[in-house]
């Protein structure tokens, strides 16, 4: 996005704090909470409302690991790093439970299940279960005749499934609002799009539509939108569109007992509120098209999701909602944390945390907390922006 000359107030109100957090999604809210608990005076600015970006538009999976299976993650990241990521995401859910996420109406402990529809993925799930057990993770492999008594397994298409028993689902908007409501001293200012970061004497000044925030440090939590504020981030975080729909089956009893991923995480489907099935994905069939920050749905992707719906769940349904959101992908699929250079600002005072590659609900709370710790001088996170990327990348 960008802010026109006409929308910039000629004499913007000037506010002061220690840290200005830019972006009111799960990352920015988690960072703000951590900062205020550490005694920092925080102002959070958000262009729309809290959860306006991907954090209010996702599938609400709170899963261990990434969408693709553990064997594949070990191949891409190396085994030690894959294990670290699996533990990191487990810790994310534990930390959210400590914050009280279980009290939210849309929250449920619900196992996730990676299903294999083809032989190659089935083989990888078999390798994964062995690797997971060797590395001390609880998981189970279901054969085609051992699955749940639900619509997906009854479709007869599933060759095997890998179950992560400790996972959960939530209403993502409830989760971000819960984090917002936990903020005490932080001032959350919505409807303020940040358009500039400049150094002014000892201050950094974040220019927004109607206000200017002068601060000691800036924490950028814009994920996919970050390059519009800090162009150098264009080379590390890429905007990718994800589309979803919610459909109400017309027949009684059509439900999904687990939160499913299919086709290496490309498609995802679970039971949602009021008897709906929420279904997302199909972007890997339209990789060239599903780029950038345009939040509109497209008929091609929506049709493809519906064809998966007919194949895997039921052909008798009515669609009750369709939507899209913008994800920030890193080159290797791991989050990115670090200081970024901004002209005229002393190095080390502007930080970025993002690049969650479609898994921010499952990792942003712990990652933002760790990023704040690193920014304020603590222990380094395992996700430096300048790390070497492996050859096999996530798309
Ligand atoms: C369809 C879809 C399904 C997904 N499913 C899952 C899932 O099931 N589980 C999971 O873990 N992850 C999922 N994700 C990914 C997850 O939603 C994201 O990784 C996560 O929400 C990123 O959070 P964030 O706070 O970094 O970014 P965002 O939520 O995108 O927040 C960025 C905020 O910055 C604001 N903003 C933009 N520009 C400016 C500016 N200049 N000034 C001020 N504010 C600005 C935006 O309005 C937005 O609110 C999904 C994503 C999509 C799109």
Instruction: Annotate 288-321 with three-state secondary structure.
Output: CCCECCCCCCCHHHHHHHHHHHHHHCCCCEEEEE
Collapsed DSSP state (helix, strand, coil) of residue 225: helix
- Given a contact cutoff of 8 angstroms between Cβ atoms, the answer to whether 186 and 215 are in contact is no
Collapsed DSSP state (helix, strand, coil) of residue 136: coil
Average of per-residue pLDDT values in the chain: 94
Pocket test for ligand 1, best of 358, 367, 372 (most atoms within 8 A of CB): 358
Pocket test for ligand 1, best of 1, 2, 25 (most atoms within 8 A of CB): 25
Distance CA 357, CA 237 (A): 9
354 C-beta closer than 6 A to ligand 1: yes
Pocket test for ligand 1, best of 222, 229, 301 (most atoms within 8 A of CB): 222
Task: List the residue whose alpha carbon is closest to atom 53 of ligand 1.
Answer: 325
From first CA to last CA, the distance across the chain in angstroms is 23
What are the chain's domains? 13-56+193-237+342-375 (3.50.50.60), 61-170 (no CATH), 239-329 (3.30.9.10)
β-pairing, 42-45 vs 317-329, is unpaired
What are 11-70's pLDDT values in tens digits? 788 999 999 999 999 999 999 999 999 999 999 999 999 999 999 999 999 999 987 899
Give me the mean pLDDT over the 88-108 stretch: 98
- Given a contact cutoff of 8 angstroms between Cβ atoms, the answer to whether 198 and 205 are in contact is yes
29 C-beta closer than 6 A to ligand 1: no
- What atom of ligand 1 comes closest to residue 280's alpha carbon? 1
Q: What share of the chain is helix, strand, coil (3-state, %, to 5)?
A: 35, 25, 40
Instruction: Report the pLDDT value the prediction gives residue 66, as an integer from 0 to 100.
Output: 85
The encoded tokens of residue 191 equal: 């409807």
Q: Which residues contact 239 (CB under 8 A, 6 or more apart)?
A: 224, 225, 227, 291, 292, 293, 326, 327, 328, 329
The size of the chain, in residues, is 395
Confidence of residue 388 (pLDDT cuts 50, 70, 90): confident
Residue 193's Cβ-side half-sphere holds a number of Cα atoms within 13 Å equal to 16
Ligand 1 centre from 113 Cα, in Å? 23
325 C-beta closer than 6 A to ligand 1: yes
Pocket test for ligand 1, best of 1, 22, 23, 59 (most atoms within 8 A of CB): 23
Confidence of residue 391 (pLDDT cuts 50, 70, 90): low
Helices 119-134 and 70-77 cross at an angle (nearest 10°) of: 80
* Rg of the chain, C-alpha, whole Å: 21
Ligand 1 centre from 10 Cα, in Å? 30
What are 164-191's pLDDT values in tens digits? 999 999 999 999 999 999 999 999 999 9
Task: List the residue whose alpha carbon is closest to atom 3 of ligand 1.
Answer: 58
Distance CA 229, CA 204 (A): 14
The encoded tokens of residue 303 equal: 């049709």
Q: How many CB atoms lie within 10 A of CB 273?
A: 11
Please calculate the CA angle 174-177-178 and round it to the nearest 5 degrees: 85
32 C-beta closer than 6 A to ligand 1: no
β-pairing, 267-271 vs 259-262, is antiparallel
351 C-beta closer than 6 A to ligand 1: no
The encoded tokens of residue 87 equal: 């533990």
Entry pTM: 0.96
Task: List the residue whose alpha carbon is closest to atom 31 of ligand 1.
Answer: 25
């Amino acid at each position: 996005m960008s802010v026109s000359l006409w929308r910039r107030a000629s004499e913007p109100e000037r506010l002061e704090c220690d840290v200005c957090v830019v972006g009111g999604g799960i990352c920015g809210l988690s960072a703000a909470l951590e900062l205020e608990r550490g005694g920092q005076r925080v102002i959070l600015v958000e262009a729309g409302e809290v959860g306006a970006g991907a954090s209010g538009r996702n599938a609400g999976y709170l899963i261990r690991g990434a969408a693709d299976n553990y064997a594949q993650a070990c191949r891409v990241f190396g085994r030690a790093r894959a294990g670290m990521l699996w533990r990191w995401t487990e810790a994310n859910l534990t930390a959210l439970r400590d914050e009280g996420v279980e009290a939210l109406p849309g929250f449920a402990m619900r196992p996730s299940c990676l299903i294999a529809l083809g032989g190659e993925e089935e083989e990888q799930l078999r390798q994964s279960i062995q690797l997971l057990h060797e590395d001390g993770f609880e998981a189970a492999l279901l054969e085609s005749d051992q699955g749940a008594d639900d619509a997906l397994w009854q479709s007869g298409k599933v060759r095997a499934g890998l179950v992560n028993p400790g996972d959960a689902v939530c209403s993502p908007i409830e989760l971000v609002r819960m984090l917002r409501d936990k903020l005490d001293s932080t001032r959350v200012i919505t409807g303020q799009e940040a358009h500039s970061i400049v150094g002014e004497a000892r201050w950094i000044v974040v220019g927004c539509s109607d206000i200017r925030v002068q601060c000691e440090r800036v924490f950028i939590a814009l994920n996919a939108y970050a390059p519009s504020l800090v162009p150098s981030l264009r080379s590390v975080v890429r905007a990718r569109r994800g589309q979803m729909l919610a459909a109400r089956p017309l027949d009684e009893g059509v439900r999904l007992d687990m939160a499913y991923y299919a086709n290496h995480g490309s498609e995802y489907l679970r039971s949602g509120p009021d008897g709906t099935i929420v279904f997302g994905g199909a972007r890997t069939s339209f990789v060239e098209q599903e780029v950038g920050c345009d939040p509109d749905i497209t008929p091609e992707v929506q049709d493809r999701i519906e064809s998966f719906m007919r194949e895997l769940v039921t052909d008798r349904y009515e669609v009750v909602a369709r939507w899209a959101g913008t994800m920030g992908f890193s080159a290797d699929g791991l989050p990115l944390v670090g200081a970024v250079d901004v002209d005229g600002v002393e190095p080390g005072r502007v930080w970025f945390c993002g690049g969650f590659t479609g898994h921010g609900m499952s990792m942003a709370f712990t990652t933002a907390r760790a990023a704040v710790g690193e920014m304020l001088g603590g222990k380094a996170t395992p996700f430096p922006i300048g790390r070497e990327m492996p050859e096999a990348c996530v798309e």
